[in-house]
Amino acid sequence: MNVTELIKNIADGALDARFAYLYGNDNVSLQRARYTEAAEEFKALYGDLEVSLFSVPGRSEISGNHTDHNQGCVLAAALDLDIIAVASKTDDGVVRIKSKGFPEDVINVSNLDPDAYENYGSAAIIAGICDGFGKRGYAYGGFCAYTTSNVLKGSGISSSAAFEVQVCNVMNHFYNGGAIDSPTLAKISQYAENTFFGKPCGLMDQTACAVGGFVAIDFADPTKPLIEKLDFDLSKAGYCLCIVNTGGNHADLNEDYASVPAEMKAVAKEFGAPVLRGLTYDDILSKLPALRQTLGDRAIMRALHFIEENDRVAAQKAALKAGDLEGFFAGVLASGDSSFKQLQNVFTVKNVSEQGLSLALALCKHFLTGKGGAWRVHGGGFAGTVQAFVPLQYKAEFKAYMDAAFGEGACAVLNIRPEGAIKV
């Protein structure tokens, strides 16, 4: 259908059932307005073309804090915040993407030289995805699209990965009949970010965005991670997921982030291994005095965190599959406790007076103790966000409590989205 017909269909409620499934019944009218605005912006930019709608969610790391870079296991989940696209296939070999609030990106699919694109630019991502499709033998070509996203930047829910997977999503449906599976779209997204964008990212973010729902990922072989989607409905169990943005300063944290995998791998090197995967607690203890002398105590504690966290992910995965919510929440709390005490990524020692994450975790504990649920640091840590699983009957009260501490809108009340990259 063309854009005018799409706008009428939205106004007539033709997509209401789909919106309710993806975003919840309370958000149908909001999504009507959001999709209509996107369609109108597309029409103003590109004309009344034949179009399709696409959506890719953001993601939350649920457990497996700083494990993927040492070939560990991760539990993640897709969220009901997403990037949507109104898009039309073209035959001129040019990809044009206008994202709300950003300049239009334009790339010609005949020019896929990484050196032709600026590092850390979205045009590089688009070119890298085209190249990734071609290298895997898939078709690719031109399209124009308008996108808008409520996957908030700086909140640890992977706005960049959602954009990457969305470009793959559109290309998949326009040129490959939607036949490429979600894990492959995630790998192409990672390839684009590594090779063209210039960031050596892992695969967790893209996989969670592409697959949807709860997803367990085992990186024992990073080139062929084992991915398992878990059938568990958090809202039906009576809980929502809240992400609280403490407003911390992310500046000058690169050294903090880099120190975690570096110290873990330094411990592994003492055992003749490139990563910690495969080492045991007893292995570490057997060389404890020597490790303390050469690497220091923090590196040892981070290595022990990895070993225990990897086992925790397996236990939480089993708990979700068995419908054991209390067992799952016990793992969330243990993960958060280990991250704070052993991994030590809740605040930076460069600025010990700023401990927004520590404060937020203390407030979560105060509010939720006796009410149910669980809480932990969210994502890479050091600044940014915490996550909390909150009983639905307390969600409004919890949001008000956290907003009062960290500012209006600091607490986002979210649900786990059952689908990943889709044509709406």
Q: How confident is the model at residue 109 (pLDDT cuts 50, 70, 90)?
A: very high
Higher pLDDT: 252 or 23? It is 23
Query: Distance between CA atoms of 21 and 212, rounded to whole angstroms?
Result: 13
Q: Which helix (H) or strand (E) holds 367?
A: helix 356-368
CA atoms within 13 A on the CB side of 209: 33
CA distance 421 to 229: 14
Q: What is the pLDDT of residue 420?
A: 95
pLDDT computed for residue 203 by the predictor: 81
Report pTM. 0.87
Share of the chain above pLDDT 70, in %: 97
What mean pLDDT is predicted for residues 289-295? Answer: 97
pLDDT above 60 (res 293): yes
State the Cα–Cα distance between residues 240 and 392, nearest whole angstrom.
6
pLDDT at 200: 67
pLDDT at 98 over 90: yes
The percentage of residues in the chain with a pLDDT greater than 90, rounded to a whole number, is: 79
- Assigned token pair, 169: 């999503």
Q: How far apart are CA 142 and CA 30, in angstroms?
A: 31
Q: Find tokens 């950003």 and name the residue.
A: 102
pLDDT digits (tens, 9 = 90+) for 23-73: 988 899 999 999 999 999 999 999 999 999 999 999 899 999 999 889 999
pLDDT at 374 exceeding the cut of 90: yes
Distance, CA of 230 to CA of 213 (rounded, Å): 7
DSSP 8-state code for residue 104: P
Tens digits of residue pLDDT in 155-175: 556 678 899 999 999 999 999
Residue 37 · residue 100 · CB < 8 Å: no
Cα–Cα distance, 161 to 66 (Å, whole number): 17
